[in-house]
Amino acid sequence: MNYQRSLLGCILLILLFVTTGYNYVSAQSRPIKRMGAANTVSFDDGWLFARYGLQADGSKIEEPAGLETTSLNDGTWQPLTLPHDWAITGPFRIELDGATGKLPWKGIGWYRKHFVVPATDAGKQIFVDFDGAMANAKIWLNGKYVGTWPYGYTSFRMDLTPFIQPGKENVLAVRLDTENWDSRWYPGAGIYRHVWLVKTNPVHVDHWGTFITTPQITDKSALVNIAVTVRNQSEKAITANVLTTLFELDATNRPTKKVAVMKETVVEVNGSENKMAESQVNVANPKLWNIETPNRYVAQTTISINGKIIDTYHTPFGIRTLEFTARNGFLLNGKRVEIKGTCNHHDLGALGAAFNLSALTRQLKMLKEMGCNSLRTSHNPPAPELLELADKMGFLVWDEAFDAWKTGKRKNDYNKLFDHWHEKDLTALVHRDRNHPSVFIWSIGNEVNEQQNVELTKHLVDIVHREDPTRPVSNGYNDPNGGRKSGAAVALDIMGVNYFFGQQAKWDADPRYTNKPTIGSETSSCVTSRGEYFFGNNDYQNWQISSYDYAKPGWGCSPDEQFKTNATYPHLLGEYVWTGFDYLGEPTPYNSDETNLLNFRTDSSKKEELEKQLELLRQKNPPSRSSYFGIIDLAGFPKDRFYSYQSQWRPDFPVAHIFPHWNWPERMDSFTPVHVYTSGDEAELFLNGKSLGRKTKEAGKDFRLIWDDVKYTPGELKVICYKSGKQWATDKVKTTGEMAKLALSANRSVIHSQDNELCFITVKVTDTEGLMVPRSHPVIHFSVEGAGEIMATDNGDATSFVPFQSHDRPAFNGMALVIVKAKKGAKGPITIKAESKGLTTGTTKIQVQ
């Protein structure tokens, strides 16, 4: 090896980097865990849990005093790792509220954690950050009260510094109380999101203390502005230098190319005060963030005193322009993007509310596949990871604060907190989320009772504008006409219409609203059960709902009708379908509680009739415990509607989807309507090779093709779809044989034990040829060998009372799901087995790394 030559090479390389200003952080640079202080570590491990008050079986255990004290003997408490939802283990109880999932989530939960911080941490600020705790959190350290945060969806920080004992054992105690919380859906219960330990110097970037804006963007350059709040928690005045460097951020969260160094600022901050340091820089040839190429950057901010770096803080961000117009929709970086969105609650099906990144990633991948480009976090602040995923995957986010203001929809919902907390909760939401490029609209509410209240609307909008003047504010109206008439909607930047577009034309012409961009903040609410089809004008049977995709509650409409509305008002920004995924709770129309009435509160004339219907329903004691609204069921299996949206939202993707299935022995020679969703414009249907005719879609009017006069004969039903006269896509369904075997497919072949990655394995009940047998419901027994264990099972049936943790689960219409995680610390293969009497066992293998 020629040493001199390689030395020369090195020098040249260094010179090249210096002269071009291209400074690469090594490819091995550490990934940035999250926005915030660099010294942030997971605090999820090693918790102990005990439940008091209401128990899972409905009994009550008196809550003793002194559960926060250090001397308490907690040796019998349940050890666990967060995130944790104490209610998802059930059992489902028929007498519990269907609207909130028939799960026993009401109770009082205590969590304790014993931990040591080294003696060398003396003098540091030590914080614990909760991403969300349901609900009414109260926190103690070493028996001393630290603070409270009641709203279960807000992320919050507790400062442990005054009570921490470095070098000794400390005990953190958290009391949660869901007995004093009410919800319209399953909220979960417990410390259901991640918790972090953050250590900083007394002088540091404040919690969520950076705000990055990009006031000018051209093709050639972007002006990036950062406002850094420097917090001085020491008693002395200090002079600090604040320096921010910008890097590109790759998909693994690693900073890569350095793109700019901002001008260093010097701030003087008195003891126990905060000071803002602002700086700007131009980034040349910015890589814009958009849905297709979600380019991200990260700002690394350091604070130095006397030349020594004492604090480092990371802020991922993106560069993009947002423009909302009343006549030409929404423009992202100057190009029109129609909002093709879904509303989603926060639960993750069989996992309950306990947050899991790989479970949410799986959901978002499916939504992306469908063509969904935007998420509405109905009706509360999401887990912070949802926004990070949205940034990375290219989703726009409607980030929502509340489902209720001063007057509740339920006795103990946000109305109990509003007066004292709304400003704190709203500010926390905006501060936490305002650097995410995905966040493009703030929402102050959903169908709140005071939606006509001008003053209150203005007050909340003003808070949001004060904290972030760069994004518009909206509110979801179920009485859009009332909200406009009163003038409350004038205060909004964007009018959010839930369902009621009847008077859209009138309001578009009203001088107060002519220039108000308008969006379908909630649409459709179509209800279906995957794989169920009923004939003859009756969509409802056995607590299931026909999948012909027409059933809807009084306020809703089919996807087709909404597409028609969207075509009628092309200037609307787009729509958010209720919902992307089925969720726990709100099993409309089978929810035997007042939710059914609530939704009609705009039409009081219907109240009496509805009350009667509700009473009848109550007497029947419906078993339904999760929603039917999802385009995708609770287990994550697409319903037929998935293809309706895909055909509409991805017009250039060849979609052909034929339904129903073709196993109708009892319908021999009966008319059995066949429907086809396609992104083509024409299609020809064949039954056993014989053409049943060609049909054409009328643009703006037809969103599916229908053959009503098909007489059932077993065999093969096939559709060939055309676009502009050329063959475009095909699909077929075939009458299957008897069920014969179980076929497994895993959504990934490798899981990493860190980050609690999960594998989702779909099981199909098939005949000997491998065709899924649509109406099969055999009980399947799941087992695993090797490095993993079963986390949960599901099948998407909204009426099932089988606990999600059970290893035995019937298939629902030919399908079931098993969710597998790695055993703590284990590596190597996991073999997953599905068995059912009389069927060939199915297995699959994955690896834990």
Instruction: List interacting residues with ligand GAL (CB under 6 A).
Output: 379, 446-447, 478, 498, 522, 525, 553, 556, 578, 586, 588, 599
Say if residues 617 and 94 touch (Cβ distance below 8 Å): no
Q: How far is the CB of 556 from ligand GAL (least distance, A)?
A: 6
Of these residues, 388, 522, 575, 586, which one is catalytic?
A: 522
Q: How far is the CB of 490 from ligand GAL (least distance, A)?
A: 22
Say if residues 792 and 784 touch (Cβ distance below 8 Å): no
Q: How far apart are alpha carbons 614 and 490 in whole angstroms?
A: 37
Contacts (Cβ under 8 Å, ≥6 apart) of 212 = 224, 225, 226, 299, 315, 317, 435
CB nearer to ligand GAL: pick between 445 and 814: 445
Contacts (Cβ under 8 Å, ≥6 apart) of 86 = 49, 51, 105, 107, 109, 189, 190
Q: How far is the CB of 685 from ligand GAL (least distance, A)?
A: 33
Of these residues, 68, 388, 447, 586, which one is catalytic?
A: 447
Q: Which helix (DSSP H) or strand (DSSP E) does residue 763 occupy?
A: strand 758-766
Q: How far is the CB of 720 from ligand GAL (least distance, A)?
A: 36
CB nearer to ligand GAL: pick between 156 and 186: 186
CB nearer to ligand GAL: pick between 497 and 819: 497
CB nearer to ligand GAL: pick between 44 and 447: 447
Say if residues 395 and 373 touch (Cβ distance below 8 Å): yes
- Tokens, residue 735: 């009458």
Say if residues 209 and 232 touch (Cβ distance below 8 Å): no
- Tokens, residue 712: 């059932």
Say if residues 671 and 692 touch (Cβ distance below 8 Å): no
Displacement of CA 479 from its chain's centroid (Å): 26
Q: How far is the CB of 114 from ligand GAL (least distance, A)?
A: 41
Q: How far is the CB of 518 from ligand GAL (least distance, A)?
A: 17
- How many residues are there in the chain? 849
Let me know if 447 is a catalytic residue: yes
Number of helical (H) and strand (E) elements in the chain, helices listed first: 11, 49
CB nearer to ligand GAL: pick between 477 and 513: 477
CB nearer to ligand GAL: pick between 399 and 522: 522
CB nearer to ligand GAL: pick between 444 and 674: 444
Q: How far apart are alpha carbons 413 and 402 in whole angstroms?
A: 10
Displacement of CA 162 from its chain's centroid (Å): 36
Give, rounded to a whole angstrom, the gap between the first and last alpha carbons of the chain: 37
CB nearer to ligand GAL: pick between 588 and 646: 588
Q: How far is the CB of 529 from ligand GAL (least distance, A)?
A: 16
Say if residues 712 and 665 touch (Cβ distance below 8 Å): no
CA-based diameter of the chain, in Å? 93
Contacts (Cβ under 8 Å, ≥6 apart) of 616 = none
CB nearer to ligand GAL: pick between 585 and 774: 585
Q: How far is the CB of 629 from ligand GAL (least distance, A)?
A: 6
Local structure of residue 289 (DSSP, 8 states):
B
- Tokens, residue 501: 């577009």
CB nearer to ligand GAL: pick between 478 and 844: 478
Q: How far is the CB of 605 from ligand GAL (least distance, A)?
A: 18
Task: Give the residues across from 808 on adjacent strands.
Answer: 781
CB nearer to ligand GAL: pick between 125 and 579: 579
Say if residues 686 and 721 touch (Cβ distance below 8 Å): no
Q: How far apart are alpha carbons 523 and 341 in whole angstroms?
A: 10
Nearest-CA neighbor of 559 among 572, 581, 544, 576? 576
Amino acid in position 395: F
CB nearer to ligand GAL: pick between 174 and 634: 634
Say if residues 733 and 658 touch (Cβ distance below 8 Å): yes
The conformational region for residue 21 under phi > 0 = left, psi -120 to 50 = alpha, else beta, is left
| Beta carbons within 10 angstroms of residue 167's beta carbon | 11
Q: How far is the CB of 578 from ligand GAL (least distance, A)?
A: 5
| Beta carbons within 10 angstroms of residue 22's beta carbon | 11
Residue nearest to ligand GAL (CB): 525
Q: How far is the CB of 800 from ligand GAL (least distance, A)?
A: 21
The conformational region for residue 345 under phi > 0 = left, psi -120 to 50 = alpha, else beta, is beta
The conformational region for residue 531 under phi > 0 = left, psi -120 to 50 = alpha, else beta, is left
Q: How far is the CB of 627 from ligand GAL (least distance, A)?
A: 8
Query: Nearest 5 degrees, angle CA 55-CA 59-CA 62?
Result: 75
Task: Give the residues across from 158 on adjacent strands.
Answer: 128
Let me know if 264 is a catalytic residue: no
Strand order across the beta sheet in which 335-336 lies: 322-324, 330-332, 335-336
Give catalytic residues, as residue numbers: 447, 522
